[in-house]
Chain A
Amino acid sequence: AQTVTQSQPEMSVQEAETVTLSCTYDTSESDYYLFWYKQPPSRQMILVIRQEAYKQQNATENRFSVNFQKAAKSFSLKISDSQLGDAAMYFCAYGGRSTSGTYKYIFGTGTRLKVLA
């Protein structure tokens, strides 16, 4: 079965600094994709960045980038020049076909990011 693990329940970063959130996953599938979602106090889930497993190039979206290590099954999120508005819960998520043929969508337990002024 597929799993997603976020080992850091909480992280803190100074404003304008860089922080990396960790995520590991487990799957026997070769065709899948990975996401990072942000959930601010408003509770709204917002997509931060998306990575297709077949793409070797790491996805980048403005100040957000990922380090995708397929062999190690690692998918970390780097936030550069952290801003107060980045404070939120961050979820790593996996989507891919299961052995039954249906797609499975699995979210990690989340990392709460605090940004210090």
Chain B
Amino acid sequence: DAGVIQSPRHEVTEMGQEVTLRCKPISGHDYLFWYRQTMMRGLELLIYFNNNVPIDDSGMPEDRFSAKMPNASFSTLKIQPSEPRDSAVYFCASSLGNRETQYFGPGTRLLVL
């Protein structure tokens, strides 16, 4: 199995630009999670989906952040407009069931200048 795939691996952008992060979960997994990791706040859950439906988005910082899952094999996390404080590593993870092990992707390191 290829594991969870994220793209891009690194993203450098300027403040105000739109950023789109992409994730392909493990085939057959029905849960998909987006996390953000920073030195200050650690690893935070932003949103998670079950069967492509958003279940809990209470971790999404503000309206500049949005996430979609148009089908079982693809999800996006969009930041518009981006700000320097959005600089972080963003992880996508998937699992088979909400009580099972979450398998993480390699992360996207985002730097907003």
Partners in one complex: yes
- Residues on the A chain within 8 Å of B107, using CB: 43-44
B91 near A45: Cβ-Cβ < 8 Å: yes
Report yes or no: A95 in contact with B89, Cβ–Cβ below 8 A: no
A108-B45 Cα distance, complex, nearest whole Å: 12
Bound together, the chains give a CA A105 to CA B45 distance in angstroms of 7
Q: Given A103-B56, A107-B43, is A43 in contact with B89 using a C-beta cutoff of 8 Å?
A: yes
Minimum CB–CB distance for B93 against chain A, Å: 7
Interface size on B (CB < 8 Å)? 20
Q: Binding site of B, secondary structure by majority: helix, strand, loop or mixed?
A: strand
Pair B56/A44 contact, Cβ less than 8 Å: no
* Closest A residue, CB atoms, query B99: A33
Instruction: Answer whether residue A30 sits at the interface, using C-beta atoms and an 8 A cutoff.
Output: no
Q: Would you list which residues of chain A between 29 and 60 have a CB under 8 Å from chain B?
A: 33, 35, 37, 42-47, 50, 52
State the B residues within 8 Å of A (CB): 33, 35, 42-45, 48, 55-56, 89, 91, 93, 98-99, 101-104, 106-107
